[in-house]
Structure 1
Amino acid sequence: MIPGRIGDLRSLTLFFAWQNKLTGKLPDSLSECQELEALDLSYNNLIGPIPNQLFGLKNLTKLLLLGNDLSGIIPPDIGNCTSLYRLRLNHNRLAGNIPQEIGNLKNLNFLDLSNNHLSGDFPQTFGGCQNLEFLDLHSNSITGSVPDSLPKSLQLIDISDNMLSGSLTHSIGSLNELTKLYLGKNQINGRVPSGILSCSKLQLLDLGSNSFSGEIPKELGLLSSLEISLNLSHNQFSGKIPSEFSSLGKLGVLDLSHNKLTGNLDALSSLQNLVSLNVSFNGFSGELPNTPFFQKLPLSDLAENQGLYITTINSSDKTQSASHKSVMKLVMSILLSTSVALVLLTVYVLIRSHIANESRAQADSWEMTLYQKFDLSIDEIVINLTSSNVIGTGSSGVVYKVSIPNGEILAVKKMWLSTSSEESRAFDNEIRTLGSIRHKNIIRLLGWGSNRNLKLLFYDYLPNGSLSSLLHGSGKGKAEWETRYDVILGVAHALSYMHHDCVPSIIHGDVKAMNVLLGPGFQPYLADFGLARIADGGGGGDDTENSMQVQTHYLAGSYGYMAPEHASMQPITEKSDVYSYGIVVLEVLTGRHPLDPTLPMGAPLVQWVRNHLANNGDPSDILDSKLKGRSDPTMHEMLQTLAVSFLCVSTKASDRPTMKDVVAMLKEIRPIESSRVDHDVLKKGGLTSSSHSSSTTIKPSPPPRNAVVSHGSSNCSYDFSDESNS
């Protein structure tokens, strides 16, 4: 229970007591802590109403009360708490209307009121929340229509599973920052407005279980950003699938089931990244596209489309196959014309289903390895690989968020199905590298499962996305410098461990911001080891002559992050990882993507920075605008880090430091003691660049070697430095 005298702590600014089994009511005396800025009492057993006096705290920016048993209403006094930036009241028993006064919260950025008993009309005043980026109201009983005016800053809207009605207007197109839109399980009707094309960043769209009608707008097929999921199921859509859908090459999940659609499925035949497709309960006809994906689709995802048929080709006897096809067409036409034939069709389907089930049972023989003991059923994992659980897609597969029986949450990567050796090698690489190493800044592989049709990897679930999304996504680079520094230092530790402390050494091969995942407290974890290679050579990486290299001269990576030696077919060494790491540091400092199309003359980020410094530009001008205006010591830290990044992106691999040296240099930057990088030093040659060389004149003295402590392993031999976490 929270003591009633807590109000005596008049200077209290932060009160974090989440997940502590607290009981009782929120004391009114909390409102007497006038200096309170952040209050987090989430995941306790608190009951009763939210004291309206709490919203009189003028300095309160974060109020997190999710996962309790709070009841009553959301007080209209909430409109007085104008400093509020983050508000989470989800998973309680709050009822009544969402107060109109919420529109007074112009600083509100994150609002989650989901899984309550809220009712009444959708507030028309949300447009006043000018900086709102995240809005989640799902699983309530909210009525009314989707407002015409919503904050243009919104990036995620989830108002699914309510009682909304009316139609969507073209104003939805004004939300040009929107990446995810969940409107499923409502009563919204009418046509989908063509203005949705203006939502050019939309990655996920869920319109399922509504009353939308008319043809599917072709504009949906022109949304090239759609890569996670498109759900149009359980509506009244009619007509054919727009031919423009063939352009949705990044889309992973598509559900068109339970509509009145007709025509064939040819527009979907070129969607190479599809992992899930459901077109059941429509009026589709014609031959299924002859692709491996369609050949492996479950019959349940094609059911109740009387005109669809599958052509089976026997390579040893094509004449017999063509004859069989004709017979099947004739049989199907007879079956469709008489009730007796329907009975025969039922028998036929049951027999084929029995044969398919026997075949599937053979394919479902799982090989599994777990690297820690926990209760895990592969069937429960597979059944949760649904579109609603997708949290990301990448070059090697789709990632799902899956809860297991013991209450833990896993991230499960389902590898793309492919016959190519490269895709199979990515799965083997993840197992070989991550299965035997442990480090506090490297994603932990918990296990894997594989059968003939599926390859799954199990990881710890990390709640804060990737470094890329922090810099360019919903966070829009709002992380403070201290957080960014801790992230790049953590990644440096991870790479130093791989290059210098593992025996044999490991080259990651694809270091980029997207592959740096963020856990609680923005703890960084290096992930995606699909391109990792065991190094061949010295293993220590301390001297250029002894630098390790992979046996092949070519190693794939990501454009914008790859070292110059990739283009010249030079051997790939650990210094290639160092270059990619330097690009990541530049990305963190500037807030710009390595291939930012807005840079002058279309130059890549590293060349833009080199040109700026070569022209005696002020180094502080290239920093992210959200990092500027800091104190002089902090500015010096950022400029010193910029100097380190430029050592890493030297054109010649031999000029780049080792990751062990990078860690030592970064650790010297904070706290800064006697040595500082001065603006004049940077301007006058501290960071020099020309078209012929990117090496710098700042050459920090080599750091001392770390003491090495050897730790045995039953699988293989690895060394862990005193900076590593085994």
Structure 2
Amino acid sequence: MGGCENLEAVDLSQNNLTGSIPKGIFRLRSLSKLLLLDNDLSGAIPPEVGNCSSLVRFRANGNGITGAIPPEIGLLKNLSFLDLSSNRLTGAIPGAMAGCRNLTFVDLHDNNIGGSLPDGLFEGLVSLQYIDLSDNSIGGDLPPAIGSLTSLTKLILARNQFSGQIPPAIGSCSRLQLLDLSNNGLSGEIPAIIGKIMALEIAVNLSFNDLSGQIPAEFAALIRLGVLDLSHNRLSGDLQPLAALENLVALNVSFNNFSGRVPDSVFFSKLPIGDLEGNPSLCLARCSGFDDVSDRINARRAGRVATAVLLSVAVVLFATAAIALVSRRRAHREDGCDDAEKDGDLSPPWEVTLYQKMEIGVVDVARRLTASNVIGRGWSGVVYRVRIPSTGALIAVKKFRTGDEAAAAAFACEIGALARVRHRKIVRLLGWAANRRSRLLFYDYLPSGTLGGLLHGGGMVAAVEWEMRLGIAVGVAEGLAYLHHDCAPAIIHGDVKTENVLLGERYEACLADFGLARVVDDGGADRRDSHTPGFAGSYGYIAPEHGCMTRITTKSDVYSFGVVLLETITGRRPADPAFGEGQSVVQWVQDHLRRKRDPAEVVDPRLQGRADPQVQEMLQALGIALLCTSTRPDDRPTMKDVAALLRGIHGHDDPSNPAEARKPGSVSVGDGEVRKRDEPSEAAIRTPSQCSLAFSSSSSRSIDNCLQ
């Protein structure tokens, strides 16, 4: 293999490989991606790794690799993704790693790495966004230079041997969303400046340390935070700084020295006693004559004895009532009036997990899963619109098919994907519930239906508005770009179609239905596990490579999005019978353009007659859709580039990445290729009237040429 000088990517993952990593593989001067994960490799990483200067991604996690991380790894100036987790690495992290100035992702968790963090490490890794060093034996102080990681979003140092104080410089990590320093030996007070990191919205875990002092008053500003764990420390004072944290879904302050009354709020009144215990001087807000939490726990124990006696009596009465009820239902069923849920699929007890601060009574919700409330049906189950009685709020509830293994896998996939992502273009998962037979997911309710309903629902005024359609397409592209490029690891949706694009009150797009979602092993191919369904996609949207591949990629989502964009432009379903047997909207558009016919003729008749600037916008979008639906996956653009191009047509930038939408260049399909115009101005991508459209059979050049 060492002779393959032009080889750019090597993926040998999940092949039960044994032995050491061969030194020769690092002589491949063009190698940019090396994936060796989930094998049985052993031995040390050879120092020759430093010779592979072109390496961008290196993953060897899930093996039995031993020895120390070689300092030569610091010679990899282009390295951006390093995952050596779940091995048997020893020694200390080499200070030379600071030379990898382009590193954005580092995962070394679950090894035997020791020593302390080397001086200068964080000063060098200025591009770092994600670092996980958990489950090692790293000790020493946390260096103040950690504040130089201004792009960091996730810092996970749990279950190590760090000591000393948490450096206040951590407040400079202004983009930090998750902070986990649990199970170490950290001491001193919690830096107040952590309360000023407004990006903290996933979790702050400082449990199992030796922290003292009070909860900083600044913590009251963490209004977006979902999980806070301060348990098993020596913290004191009261809990009032946490009273205003309205988005908390989990809080644990047990086994500290807190005192005073627990805040008088709905959240604290429903907080489990176990999350408050171990604070002898802490009194519940509604103590009912008890002075502290310990008294309340003892009272509950005494109450259980009395409850057991009462239950013994109640069982007899209940049995009698049950016999009568069964007899009545049997008679009712014989009259043909039995309820659809007679089998008890929706009966308690329920296991419930909520990710948002809200009240959802599952028993009340289950009663409202009736035919009159159905708003959608899919392969894995039925979606209902439900109004929560206690608050009057509307939510969407998805009930998965009972006794179906594929549906059960879809349930696990949705939770696995949606519980860890937050984006305005991704449907928000509120929580889930399950009993012995049924599984329910709770989402935000979006009142305007789906993009499929908008396009094919029959005569709705909104369906004829091009500006609205384009805005929806931009939203879907941004949602997919977030999944592919901003999640770590990335996520493949697996079932992008118009029926899975939900629409809000103002027709803002929201990508939904993650039942076929997969975690990406390294920015490209999916990583399957026992929960992953054995198929992906919907007929008409599936990328052509699915017929000859066992693994899907992010480019498969790009193809499906291209079909969605074509459907949005043409108003035709992906497999419209009018196309002929076995033909799709992709082939229909390609055949039309091969015949040198007017490209505007493929546009939805309801969009005909628009002003020339709008027509040109439609044709530019059509060119992008054709790029996305290229037969070869490598010829398709990334969703990040697609979103940038569509924003350019739509006339607005992505506020989170303004430079991305300002890349010059306009899409032109002419002479059989998609190409960049010569020396375009910044306005070129924004001006639809500059677009010309023709087509021939060789149309598929990478969209990268359009974005230089």
How big is the shift at 1:288?
Answer: 2.0
The 5 A counterparts of 1:88-487 are 88-148=59-119, 149-150=121-122, 151-312=125-286, 325=288, 327-329=289-291, 332=292, 344-345=298-299, 347-348=301-302, 350=304, 361=349, 367=366, 369-370=399-400, 374-375=404-405, 390-394=419-423, 397=428, 415=443, 426-427=444-445, 466-468=480-482
Q: C-alpha deviations, 1:219-274, integer Å up to 9, x for none?
A: 11010011111111111111111010111111111111111111221111111221
Cα distance, 1:507–1:278 mapped onto 2, change above 3 Å: closer
Distance 2:258 2:297 in 1: 22
Distance 1:510 1:261 in 2: 45
Please give the secondary structure, in 1, of the residue aligned with 2:24: helix
Please give the secondary structure, in 2, of the residue aligned with 1:205: strand
The 5 A counterparts of 1:593-612 are 593-595=653-655
Q: Match for residue 634 of structure 2?
A: none
Q: Match for residue 511 of structure 1?
A: 509
1:186–1:209: 8 Å Cα contact kept in structure 2?
Answer: yes
Distance 1:514 1:379 in 2: 16
How big is the shift at 1:474?
Answer: 8.0
Q: C-alpha deviations, 1:171-228, integer Å up to 9, x for none?
A: 0011111111110000101110010111111111110111111111101101001111
Distance 2:307 2:450 in 1: 40
Instruction: Supply the AA of the counterpart residue of 1:99.
Output: P
Distance 1:136 1:110 in 2: 9
Q: Match for residue 633 of structure 2?
A: none
Distance 2:452 2:650 in 1: 35
Instruction: Supply the AA of the counterpart residue of 2:400.
Output: L
Distance 2:105 2:50 in 1: 18
How big is the shift at 1:163?
Answer: 0.2
Identical-residue share of aligned pairs (%): 36
Distance 2:135 2:276 in 1: 26
Please give the secondary structure, in 1, of the residue aligned with 2:285: coil
1:184–1:207: 8 Å Cα contact kept in structure 2?
Answer: yes
Instruction: Supply the AA of the counterpart residue of 1:159.
Output: L
Cα distance, 1:280–1:81 mapped onto 2, change above 3 Å: same
Question: RMSD over aligned Cα, in angstroms?
Answer: 5.4
Please give the secondary structure, in 2, of the residue aligned with 1:31: coil
Please give the secondary structure, in 2, of the residue aligned with 1:467: helix
Cα distance, 1:210–1:377 mapped onto 2, change above 3 Å: farther
Instruction: Supply the AA of the counterpart residue of 1:283.
Output: N
Distance 2:76 2:684 in 1: 48
1:214–1:239: 8 Å Cα contact kept in structure 2?
Answer: yes
Q: Match for residue 67 of structure 1?
A: 38
How big is the shift at 1:119?
Answer: 0.7
The 5 A counterparts of 1:497-576 are 509-511=507-509, 520-524=553-557, 542-543=605-606
Q: Match for residue 335 of structure 2?
A: none
Please give the secondary structure, in 2, of the residue aligned with 1:98: coil
- Unaligned residue ranges in structure 1 (runs of 5+): 1-29, 313-323, 337-341, 403-410, 416-425, 440-461, 480-485, 500-504, 528-538, 548-580, 600-604, 606-621, 629-634, 641-668, 689-695, 704-726
Cα distance, 1:595–1:37 mapped onto 2, change above 3 Å: closer
How big is the shift at 1:278?
Answer: 1.3
TM-score for both structures, normalised by structure 2? 0.56
Distance 2:65 2:176 in 1: 31
Please give the secondary structure, in 1, of the residue aligned with 2:95: coil
Q: Match for residue 626 of structure 2?
A: none
Q: C-alpha deviations, 1:120-157, integer Å up to 9, x for none?
A: 11211110111111100000000011223231111110
Distance 1:348 1:261 in 2: 30
How big is the shift at 1:65?
Answer: 0.6
Distance 1:287 1:194 in 2: 29
Cα distance, 1:258–1:687 mapped onto 2, change above 3 Å: closer
Cα distance, 1:435–1:700 mapped onto 2, change above 3 Å: closer
Cα distance, 1:681–1:243 mapped onto 2, change above 3 Å: closer
Distance 1:300 1:83 in 2: 52
TM-score for both structures, normalised by structure 1? 0.55
Q: C-alpha deviations, 1:674-695, integer Å up to 9, x for none?
A: 998966998999976xxxxxxx
- Unaligned residue ranges in structure 2 (runs of 5+): 315-346, 351-360, 367-397, 434-438, 457-475, 521-552, 562-572, 574-602, 611-640, 696-708
Please give the secondary structure, in 2, of the residue aligned with 1:47: coil
Distance 1:188 1:399 in 2: 35
2:86–2:110: 8 Å Cα contact kept in structure 1?
Answer: yes
How big is the shift at 1:350?
Answer: 4.7
How big is the shift at 1:511?
Answer: 2.8
Please give the secondary structure, in 2, of the residue aligned with 1:87: strand
Cα distance, 1:506–1:222 mapped onto 2, change above 3 Å: closer
Distance 1:684 1:346 in 2: 70
1:155–1:474: 8 Å Cα contact kept in structure 2?
Answer: no
Q: C-alpha deviations, 1:56-103, integer Å up to 9, x for none?
A: 221111110101111111111111111111100000011111111111
How big is the shift at 1:304?
Answer: 1.7
Cα distance, 1:597–1:58 mapped onto 2, change above 3 Å: closer
Cα distance, 1:123–1:545 mapped onto 2, change above 3 Å: closer
How big is the shift at 1:303?
Answer: 2.1
How big is the shift at 1:369?
Answer: 2.2
State the number of aligned residues: 481
Q: Match for residue 318 of structure 2?
A: none
Instruction: Supply the AA of the counterpart residue of 1:347.
Output: R
Cα distance, 1:276–1:393 mapped onto 2, change above 3 Å: farther
2:263–2:285: 8 Å Cα contact kept in structure 1?
Answer: no
